[in-house]
């Protein structure tokens, strides 16, 4: 079993109730499971709740930091229609809710209409000059860098203690061990890179909400990613994230609002 599947596996304990084990293999910089990993677990549970195959819109609100260990997921249908279905999931530990997710599903086989793009696709795979910035001395990123192959063409300044002063970046990611880029994986990847505000001197960033729009089913191979923060205002910043697959299609787009420390 792929580690991402092993670590998002759910055991049903009742109608709309599951238990799971949050592992230490998908940790955030400040320690503890990444928000996007907790979200992936919830997407798994939601997929079991609705008849439509494709998550389209996923709105996650984070209340508490998850911890490694057992957790419960409860789900409920909100509406099942012919074209869309909407359901909710809550992730709990010790009977306290960590994360609430409302998601709408559809069937991407039924997409129709023109595609109009006003945003240039990034290069679909890393150029020769790209490198693994966390290959040696991974420090606090050891858990996740063991699992994700991350490539960039520019040095990661904050990682060597010299924030680069930039608010946007492009890079590539993929699981080290290949696995389909389904909605759970894409939502995870939207939150899997270190926040770009670290390049502005922040020392941490805590996700308050994360909205993910899945735009197409993703091909295998590299995921070309772009991240951008345009506004840091009084402790809060948004972070926009785009993921393009190896065929050059935009497959996920997310925005999060996060609380930062250190600026």
Enumerate binding residues for a second copy (CB under 8 A). Answer: 56-57, 59, 61, 63-64, 78-79, 81, 84, 86, 88, 97, 100, 102-104, 108, 111-119, 167-168, 200, 208-209, 211, 213, 215-216, 228-236, 238, 250, 253, 255, 257, 260, 263
Residue 246 is given by DSSP the state T
State the Cα–Cα distance between residues 236 and 255, nearest whole angstrom: 13
Residue closer to a second copy, measured from CB, 14 or 165: 165
Minimum CB separation of residue 202 from a second copy in Å reads 9
Residue closer to a second copy, measured from CB, 78 or 135: 78
Minimum CB separation of residue 175 from a second copy in Å reads 24
Q: At what angle do helices 183-190 and 35-47 cross, to 10 degrees?
A: 160
Q: For residue 235, what are the contacts with CB-CB under 8 A and spacing of at least 6?
A: 259, 260
Minimum CB separation of residue 176 from a second copy in Å reads 29
Burial class of 183 by CB neighbour count within 10 A (0 to 12, 13 to 18, 19+): buried
Minimum CB separation of residue 107 from a second copy in Å reads 11
Do β-strands 11-14 and 148-151 pair in parallel, antiparallel, or remain unpaired? unpaired
Residue closer to a second copy, measured from CB, 26 or 35: 35
Q: Which of 183, 223, 230, 190 is nearest to 207 (CA)?
A: 190
């Amino acid at each position: 079993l792929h580690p991402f599947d092993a670590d998002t596996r759910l055991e049903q304990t009742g109608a709309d109730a599951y238990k799971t084990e949050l592992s230490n293999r998908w940790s955030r910089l400040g320690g503890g499971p990444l928000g996007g990993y907790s979200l992936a677990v919830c997407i798994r549970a939601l997929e079991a709740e609705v008849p439509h195959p494709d998550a389209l819109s996923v709105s996650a609100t984070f209340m508490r930091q998850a911890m490694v260990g057992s957790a419960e997921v409860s789900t409920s249908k909100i509406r099942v229609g012919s074209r869309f279905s909407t359901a909710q999931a809550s992730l709990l530990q010790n009977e306290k809710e960590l994360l609430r997710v409302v998601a709408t599903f559809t069937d991407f086989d039924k997409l129709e209409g023109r595609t109009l793009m006003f945003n240039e696709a990034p290069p679909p795979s890393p150029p020769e000059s790209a490198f693994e910035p966390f290959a040696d001395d991974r420090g606090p990123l050891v858990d996740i860098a063991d699992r994700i192959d991350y490539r960039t063409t520019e040095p990661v300044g904050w990682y060597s203690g010299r924030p680069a002063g930039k608010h946007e970046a492009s890079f590539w990611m993929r699981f080290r061990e290949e696995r389909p880029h389904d909605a759970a994986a894409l939502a995870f990847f939207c939150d899997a890179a270190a926040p770009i505000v670290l390049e502005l001197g922040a020392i941490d960033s805590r996700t308050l909400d994360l909205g993910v729009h899945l735009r197409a089913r993703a091909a295998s191979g590299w995921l070309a990613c772009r991240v951008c923060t345009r506004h840091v205002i009084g402790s809060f910043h948004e972070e926009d994230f785009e993921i393009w697959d190896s065929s050059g299609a935009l497959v996920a787009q997310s925005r999060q609002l996060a609380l930062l420390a250190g600026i």
